[in-house]
Structure 1
Amino acid sequence: MIPSPLVQSYALVIVACRNSLSIKAVSAQARTICGRSPADLIGTPLTGLLPAACLDAIPVHDLADWPVPVKLPRQAGWREANYQALFYPADDEWVVEIEPRRTWPQPRDYAFRLRAFTERLTSATSKKALLQALCDGAHGHLGFDRSMVLRFDQSYDGVVVNECHRDGLPTFLGVHFTRHDIPESAHRKLVANPVEVFTLDGGNVAIRGSFGKAAEQLLRHHVGSREPNVNTEKFLDDNKLATNAVLAISRGNQLWGALYMHGVEPVRLDYQMRTFLYLAGKTVEQRIEHFAYQPARHRDHPAKDGGSRLYDNILRSDTLVQGLIGPDFSLLDLIPDTHGAAICSGASLTLHELTPDREVVEDIVGWLKREGLTTPFYGTDQLATFYPGGEDLLDVAAGILFLPLDALADNWIIWFRPAAVQSVVYGSSPESDVEKARRFARQEVLRYNRSRKWSEASIGNAKKLQNFIRDTVMKRYDRAQQQNALLQEAYSDLEIFSYAVGHDLRAPLRGIASYADILNEDFGESLGELGRHHLQNIKDNAVRVQHFIREILALSRIERTKILVNRLTVSRLVAESIANMADGSAKFLHCEVQPDMPDIFGDRNYLLMVFTNLLSNAFKYSAATKCGRRVQVGWTGEYRRQHPVFYVEDNGIGIPREQQSRMFNLFTRSTNVENIEGTGIGLALVKRIIRFHEGEVWIESEENKGTRVLFYTAVSDPDSLYSKYGED
């Protein structure tokens, strides 16, 4: 069961009905602030606690910007302080937070401090100067004894990179904290509501009464007096501090860093000061983005440094890989202290210098994709902490920097770093006797299982390379697209020509065959046996050319005809293919069909063409052997891309190994079938049909022992190919 939300005791928190203003819930310490207990207040109207003039200031409709601060007059029975009430709308309820209001010695103090703080932030000329200005401002203008910036890496481990503190307090500069110190739930809260303040005196109190879900969410995540993360109180107690305030710094909805502010004595920040801090944080976030993208604007005019040398190598090289691993300057020189890299370009993986094995590299990339860690980049100095089996890679890949080169991360670069022994000061350690608890005291430890951290300079160089490659590849791709368009136009013209020629030739060929029959019928006896033999050759050749033209036309129609996908039974396709074979010998043809095969998805007519061509070849070439014809159709029991792999197998003459790779080329036949009729079109037709079904087809064969043609179709959605290849 999730416990009810708690609030800090310095504020009086009330939940009231929006319509009746009847009080439904009150924080437990109400008597110490307003002189009345929760039991006295629950069920009474809010007008009995707050002046009517204050309630009249609340807008009637939902608020675009909330909460609404309302100044409260001094009232009898209340603890001495200047109070203000903050009204948060929560569906049909109000959450009212009553807090002490900070006063300034001079009326213009607030505006002066805000202007001075903001001007220094906006005038900073570097990220380091910006973060130091943030620390100095929190220390000088808000009254904290120490302010420090904790910079997080992608694993949410952090190190203090800037600090300002009063004399006598120990420095935290360079101290490391781990992701266990700030729970993941706290990260999400800080991104949603970047300012959090907690003071140790008084502790947290419960809310007495009842309230709805919306009010509960406000109490947990939005009110200024909300309960902090579980380790805050322990940190204050261990370091003898009274106040801890946090300002989250985010980039792209991710926690980039945080300003932590400490007070030895209690420091109160009212709503106005929290807003002051919030605005300062937004200024810092904007400036960080400015510094991040400022170098990118100058990448078209780089100095003659290592980066530009690498870019020049890429431009001069025939391939991206050649440019990246050039002898004079390589991608390892671009990112210092890297001992190896892997490059995937165009589905080809290249390992350079000291790297894990190919299979391990591919598995790491698969893990990154499954975990959603491929955009915009991923870097860690402790791969073994997150990647299963990473502890076996410390000598070569204790740390990795992954850089995708396209949107789907199909092309990428990984740099590898080995483990390095490092002396590190941590600001915390696990509490030995309490599960998940932390003890906040400094300790120096030697780390053996991590690489050197990836510096911002190295990450910046990698991002510049990423942008350069994308720009360069895209320009080359555009040129290739233009060339492809011209080739496609030429191909279309050729296709139209071949289609027209095919149609124009078929009529004369039918005439030649018919006239040969007429001559044989009317003048066969006078022609004699030799004449009849010549007439039969004329007819056979005409029929052969007609068959050749039919196959050419079938090949050309595939790209113009709608492909409709259905679930089909392989055994039925085989039976129909045999029955439809054109030579009339179907009753003499027989093949073994494996029972209980999975179904195949595809266009029925086109898959009939696939099986007809493959079976025709199998019958034809197995008949040429002396050991008896054997033709089989089956399923290998394997899946590729989650689709079953089928085969058509014969015990025929086989295909020489050196010729197998080109057997799917148009008009290509094996050298050992010269005496067997064929056009060299059938396998090309099969390949095109299978490719249009998003599948693959390949050959396994041994000369004089037989051939197995394997294939699969990779479609299961009946509409996928219709929309992809069909005509409008």
Structure 2
Amino acid sequence: MHAGRDLFFLLFSLVNADPKIFMNNASNGANRFYTVNYDLNNCDQEPIHIIRVVQSYACLLGVDVQSFSIIHVSDNSQQILGLPHEEVLSQNLADLLHPEIMEQIRSGLQENDFLSINPIIIKSFGGHILDTTYHLIAHLQDQTMILEFEQRDPLVSSSRFLQRSDRAVQKIQSARDVNNLFHETASEIKVLTGYDRVMIYQFDEEYNGIVIAEAKEDHLSPYYQLRYPASDIPRQARALFLRNQVRIIVDAQSEPAQIIPAVHPETGTPLDQTDSVARGVSPIHIEYLNNMGVRASMSVAIVKENKLWGLIACHHYQPKLVDYRVRNMIKFLSRIISGHLALQEAHDFREQGLQTNIVRSHLLEQMSRNWSVLEGLMQNKFTLLDLNQASGAALLLDGRLHTIGECPSEEKIMELIDWLENNTDSSVFETNELSAHWPAGLEIKDVASGLLSLQIAHTPPEYILWFRPEIIQTVNWGGNPEKAVTFSGEQMRLSPRKSFDIWKEQVQNTAKPWDRNDINSAIALRNDIKEIIIEKYQEIRKLNQNLLEAYKDLESFSYSVSHDLRMPLRTIEGFSQILEEDYKDKLDDYGQQVIQTISSSIGKMNGFINDLLALSKISLNDLIINKLNPASQIEQVWNSFPEAERQRVQFQLKDPMPPVYAEVTSLRQLLSNLLSNAIKYSRHQEIPMIEVGADSDGKSTVIYVRDNGIGMDPKHHQRIFDVFSRLVSDKDYEGTGVGLAIVKKVVDKHRGEVWVESEKGGGSTFYCRFPIHELEVL
């Protein structure tokens, strides 16, 4: 016998089949198994809980909970209970069972707890002693109490068996690691039950499975390490295993017993056997068992965190009934496994968490040094790659992409981020098969089959991405997982395999999966980054507050100094005028030159003080925004210049202009400074030209002043707006270096923007953008 995919059918009393097959293939007697007609496209919807047969090893009674009248009976009651089903049906249960037994049943019914009384020992039925002692297993299903009678094994009560059971539990509990636990459990269960083969079977997240431990007779072919697809396991089968945990098939070749009647005599509904221990087996599954030569099987669920983790699967090649008490013991052993799994997972999680916490603490310390996320995560001893065993990582921060390790191209990473923005809702996304979600991922599978993405910010988008490369592996399946359906003419049926050879598949486009610790550590890192950003923001806010206070003090000081300088300056100016008027004829040429120098310096000093005062007033005063006509303001300012200067310039005003929202006095100050500079720096041109205009995009108005003057090197475009910054000497062009600083201060106060376009010798154009504000005070 070869290992095959159809092993899994031995694990279930269920079938992975389209029920149309049953209805179209009457020769197999399938229409005897279900009361309702159904036409389904997949086995996930097969109504396995209302199959109308029971396995022949047990007799089933359905009892009305109000009257205790028997409303269902399996047609093998004569062989097991000694009475034909015709005599059992419609009788009162109390007339058939001993009063002490009835008392136990009533107690279980009243307390809604049959687990504490199951199994009940039955030695008589209907007034006569039975040839064999039976177990009665009871449970409640809606308003019907279901009683199942199965043979009791007297050896289970022997001291030898109890000692062997205790030894098995001790060996399993003392397993040194999880892998040893699985093998010990399989071996001990084989000894306790006598099955020919016992396996531990584990599911993955998608319910594909693998045999991870096996104990078997020497002549049997191994199933160890074979895999089985999730499509073998109907959804409702997983639900039943979570609910009942144990499923036994005693003899696959035995004719099942029919439930009489098939439906409730009053409601017309079929009997629900969801919790029945002897529920009938789907006929196509029986066909599989017969093809494989397996007569009996038992499967026990391993449940972890309310999820089906795996199965203890037992096979036998002759009919075999394992006592109900032994089945419960195996269920107990499955819970030991569940407990060990939970403890091991908690231990591993703590260990991994400890390691990642150490890495995170280093990353946090590195980010804190210079308040730099980039330096802290990618440019120090510890990096993003140390957090989760990724082979590459990318950081999109402040609009720039940074990478470390083996990563896709920058273009592909940006395409991936764009896809994440439009196709994922969560801030964390992980996959070990990127191409299954994003087809373009096939192009980068060598370095990025696995992706763990962490969104740091939404607008603008900022991300951390970790990548893992493709791992090509060969998977041994128990038979070809793709071949389960055959066609005969127009009819479709599930064809049980008669050959179960190993089928190999090469799995591509996948990477090592990300585990829970990887995801949790990524989320924790995001919180660390937020903490750094908040601390950095608070530090900047504190520095900004200090700067604002210092700036206010400086502006107040500048205003006071400028104001206080006027008095001594006026005194100096007065005395220089006296010297020039009263003593000029008594001074030689040098003395007269000194007086002229004093007078010129006083003029420059006055201009400097006026500019400082203007700069201080802009910062100290609130702006009252008004809707202004820029053309009118420009004309007023232009006409304020001396006529001699205006006549030399070819002045052009582009009209009409869109309105500008500004404070009138500061706007005039700005225009005066820009026009004054344009006149000054174009006066040596043969025909000085100045053009002033304005444009609007609906959100702001831009005023520009263009001249054909000396221009400037582009490298100075930012510097010229600094206070006291001048690119030419006072000898060639007078000035204080404050005029353009005033222009920038006015624009900043309006929450706008100022810039210049200029080339050396090619003139200059200054632009001032004013946002369209509601009329308000800034």
Both structures adopt the same fold (TM-score exceeding 0.5): yes
1:87 aligns with 2:132: no
Name the CA distance, whole Å, in 2 between partners of 1:450 and 1:99: 52
Q: What is the alpha-carbon distance in structure 2 between the residues aligned to residue 324 and residue 68 of structure 1?
A: 65
The one-letter code sitting in structure 2 at the alignment partner of 1:171 is P
Alpha-carbon spacing, 1:477–1:650, altered in 2? closer, same or farther (3 Å):
closer
In structure 2, do the counterparts of structure 1 residues 139 and 592 end up closer, same or farther at CA, with 3 Å as the change threshold? Answer: farther
Q: Hey, what's the Cα distance between the residues in 1 that align with 2:86 and 2:198?
A: 38
Q: Which letter does structure 1 place at the counterpart of 2:54?
A: S
Give 3-state SS (helix, strand or coil) of 2:315's partner.
strand
Amino acid corresponding to residue 208 of structure 1 in structure 2: V
Give the aligned partner of residue 694 of structure 2: 629
Structure 1 position 86, deviation (Å): 1.5
Question: Aligned AA for 1:389?
Answer: P
User: How far apart in 2 are the matches of 1:190 and 1:12?
Assistant: 22
Which residue number in structure 1 is paired with residue 102 of structure 2? 55
Identify which of structures 1 and 2 has the higher relative contact order when contacts are C-alpha pairs closer than 8 Å and 6+ apart. 2
Task: Tell me the SS of whatever aligns to 1:117.
Answer: helix
2:284 is the alignment partner of 1:219: no
Q: Which amino acid aligns with 2:376?
A: T
Give the distance between the partners of 1:226 and 1:263, measured in 2 at CA: 19
1:9 to 34, 54, 57: 54
Residues 67 and 88 of structure 1 are in contact (CA less than 8 Å); yes or no, is this contact kept in structure 2? Answer: no
**Residues 31 and 38 of structure 1 are in contact (CA less than 8 Å); yes or no, is this contact kept in structure 2?**
no
- Do the aligned partners of residues 501 and 450 (structure 1) sit closer, same or farther apart at CA in structure 2, a change above 3 Å counting? same
* CA–CA distance in structure 1, aligned partners of residues 770 and 86 of structure 2: 82
Which residue in the other structure is 1:642 paired with? none
Partner of 2:647: none
Change over 3 Å in CA distance of 1:80–1:107 after alignment to 2: closer
State the Cα deviation string for residues 188-240 of structure 1 (Å, max 9, x = none): 44344433333423458565217999x999733x3333467998545423422
The answer to whether residue 310 in structure 2 is matched with residue 257 in structure 1 is: yes
Q: How far does the alpha carbon of each residue in 1:591-623 deviate from its partner, in whole angstroms, 9 at most, with x for none?
A: 699xxxxxxxxxxxxxxxxx989xx99xx99x9
Give the TM-score of the pair, scaled to structure 2.
Answer: 0.57
Tell me the residue number matched to 1:487.
Answer: 539
In structure 1, what residue type is equivalent to 2:94?
T
Correspondence 1:71 to 2:120? yes
Q: Give the distance between the partners of 2:247 and 2:138, measured in 1 at CA.
A: 16
Distance change (3 Å), C-alpha of 1:231 and 1:60: closer
Shift of 1:125: 0.9
Report the AA paired with residue 53 of structure 1.
Answer: E
Aligned counterparts of 2:85 and 2:302: Cα–Cα separation in 1:
39
RMSD between aligned alpha carbons? 6.5
Task: Output the TM-score relative to the length of structure 1.
Answer: 0.60
Q: Residues 498 and 173 of structure 1: is their aligned pair in 2 closer, same or farther, counting only changes over 3 Å?
A: same
Question: Deviation at 1:141?
Answer: 0.8
Aligned equivalents of 1:700, 1:23: Cα separation in 2? 97
Counterpart of 2:337 in structure 1 is 284
Structure-2 change in CA distance of 1:265 and 1:301 (3 Å) = same
What residue number does 2:89 align with? 41
Task: Name which of 6, 21, 24 aligns with 2:67.
Answer: 21
C-alpha separation in 2, matches of 1:364 and 1:48: 72
Matches for 1:443-462 after TM superposition, within 5 Å: 443-450=501-508, 454=512
Which residues of structure 1 form unaligned runs of 5+?
513-533, 555-575, 594-610, 634-646, 688-697, 712-728
- In structure 2, the residue matched to 1:168 is 219
How far is 1:124 from its partner?
0.8
The separation in 2 between residues aligned to 1:398 and 1:192, in whole angstroms, is 40
Q: CA deviation at 1:686?
A: 6.6
Separation (CA, whole Å) in 2 of partners of 1:68 and 1:83: 11
**Residue by residue, what CA displacement relative to the aligned partner does 1:350-386 show, whole Å, maximum 9, x if unpaired?**
3632647314644786799569995xx7546xx65x4
Q: Is the CA contact (8 Å cut-off) linking 1:121 and 1:133 kept in structure 2?
A: yes
Residue of structure 1 equivalent to 2:376: 319
Equivalent-residue separation in structure 2 for 1:708 and 1:203 (angstroms): 90
Secondary structure of 2:220's aligned partner: coil
Contact 1:700–1:707, Cα closer than 8 Å, also in 2: yes
| 1:358 is aligned to 2:413 | yes
Among 185, 188, 191, the alignment partner of 1:134 is 185
Q: Distance in 1 between matches of 2:281 and 2:402?
A: 48
CA distance in 1, matches of 2:224, 2:705: 78
What SS class does the counterpart of residue 118 from structure 2 fall into?
Answer: strand
Tell me the CA shift for residue 316 of structure 1.
Answer: 7.9
1:123 corresponds to which of 164, 174, 189 = 174
Conserved? CA contact 2:630–2:657, under 8 Å: no
- Would the alpha carbon gap of residues 425 and 297 (structure 1) be closer, same or farther in structure 2, given more than 3 Å must change? closer
CA contact (8 A) 1:399 1:419 kept: no
The separation in 2 between residues aligned to 1:157 and 1:404, in whole angstroms, is 28
Provide the C-alpha distance between the structure 2 equivalents of 1:115 and 1:154, rounded to a whole number of angstroms: 34
Question: Retained in 1: the 8 A contact 2:50–2:270?
Answer: no
- Following the alignment from structure 1 to structure 2, what is the Cα–Cα distance between the partners of residues 388 and 205? 52
Single out whichever of 63-72 and 308-317 deviates more from structure 2: 308-317
Write out aligned runs for 1:294-305 (5 A): 294-295=347-348
Please state how far the C-alpha of 1:710 moved relative to its aligned partner.
11
Task: Give the alignment of 1:385-404 within 5 angstroms.
Answer: 386-387=436-437, 389=439, 392-393=442-443, 396=446, 399-400=449-450, 402=452
Q: What's the % identity of the aligned pairs?
A: 11
The answer to whether the Cα contact below 8 Å between 1:139 and 1:164 also exists between their aligned partners in 2 is yes
Shift of 1:262: 1.2
**Structure 1 150/544 Cα, relative in aligned 2: closer, same or farther at 3 Å?**
same
Moved more, 273-282 or 291-300: 291-300
Partner deviation per Cα, 1:506-526 (whole Å, 9 max, x = no partner) = xx99xx9xxxxxxxxxxxxxx
The answer to whether the 8 A contact 1:321-1:343 is kept is: no
Mapped partners of 1:394, 1:39: distance in 2: 73
Counterpart-to-counterpart distance in 2, 1:6 and 1:217: 6
Work out the CA distance in 2 between the residues paired with 1:60 and 1:581: 92
1:102 and 1:180 map into 2 onto residues whose CA distance is: 36
Of 195, 204, 229 in structure 2, the residue corresponding to residue 178 of structure 1 is 229
| Aligned residue in 2 for 1:98 | 148
The 1:316/1:359 distance shift into structure 2, 3 A limit, reads closer
Displacement of 1:185 in angstroms is: 3.7
* Alpha-carbon contact 1:146-1:164 (below 8 Å) kept: yes
Query: Which of 227, 247, 266 is equivalent to 2:319?
Result: 266
Secondary structure at 2:273's aligned position in 1?
helix
* Contact kept? 1:403, 1:466, Cα under 8 Å: no
**Aligned AA for 1:358?**
I
Matching residue of 2:264: 209
Unaligned runs of 5+ in 2: 1-37, 39-44, 368-374, 564-604, 634-654, 676-689, 707-712, 728-736, 759-764, 773-778
Match of 2:294 in 1: 241
